[in-house]
A and B are shown apart, each in its own frame.
Chain A
């Protein structure tokens, strides 16, 4: 089957399963259609993201196996350069996000009397959020650089 068709089917399948997971889990947890409790929506959304991430990981493994079977290297000089560049910018963007969080916690929250993110639950969530944001930034930049090219 054509690679493009397989890719589209995979994306459509993943979207459908994630959406179903979001709706079904939400109903099981007793949220919608009865009501829109924010925790139920968040739990369902995170579940949908987990399903989508798992599917994307399987897709990447499958694509790499196909490439290896066809005789292509998994990485070549271009992918190494562009991944390096994506990682380089990710470091700066992640540092910026962490500084912004510190700035909020130590300055804005105190000056404007807003809730500081200092409880253990908050810290856990913020750390996980930052890690996910960092990974997302890296893959987003990698995708962008791969599409953009690298000509001088």
Chain B
């Protein structure tokens, strides 16, 4: 799974710390999601998408293979 979190963070000038505080998680959680090393719950994915003014579909790119 790939994400566009980093790209969208840059667009809204948000650091990992800022985004983590907005969605109420630890900074490392955002880091691991960005790297594709942690799969967030639907609730967290929704919160991140909302904070970045996008949708879950736009934010997470699933590789069918």
Q: Which of A's residues lie within 8 Å of B, judged by CB?
A: 67, 70-73, 76-79, 146, 148-152
B17 contacts which chain A residues (CB < 8 A)?
70
14 contacts between A and B (CB under 8 A): A72-B21, A72-B27, A73-B26, A76-B24, A77-B43, A78-B32, A146-B28, A148-B37, A149-B32, A151-B36, A151-B37, A151-B38, A151-B39, A152-B1
In the complex, are the beta carbons of A149 and B25 less than 8 A apart?
A: no
Bound state CA distance, A152 and B24, in angstroms? 23
In the complex, are the beta carbons of A78 and B37 less than 8 A apart?
A: no
A71: nearest residue on chain B (CB-CB)?
B21
In angstroms, how far is the closest chain B Cβ from the Cβ of A72? 5
What band does the interface of chain B fall in when counting residues whose beta carbon is under 8 Å from A?
Answer: 20 to 34
Q: Which of B's residues lie within 8 Å of A, judged by CB?
A: 1, 17, 20-21, 24-29, 32, 35-41, 43-44
In angstroms, how far is the closest chain A Cβ from the Cβ of B5? 14
A78-B38 contact given A149-B32, A151-B1, CB 8 Å threshold: yes
A74: nearest residue on chain B (CB-CB)?
B26
A77 contacts which chain B residues (CB < 8 A)?
25, 29, 40-41, 43-44
Bound state CA distance, A76 and B32, in angstroms? 13
B37: nearest residue on chain A (CB-CB)?
A149
In angstroms, how far is the closest chain A Cβ from the Cβ of B38? 5
**Contacting residue for A150 out of B27, B39, B43, CB 8 A:** B39
B28 contacts which chain A residues (CB < 8 A)?
78, 146
B40 contacts which chain A residues (CB < 8 A)?
77-78
B41 contacts which chain A residues (CB < 8 A)?
77
A151 contacts which chain B residues (CB < 8 A)?
1, 32, 36-39
In angstroms, how far is the closest chain B Cβ from the Cβ of A59? 17
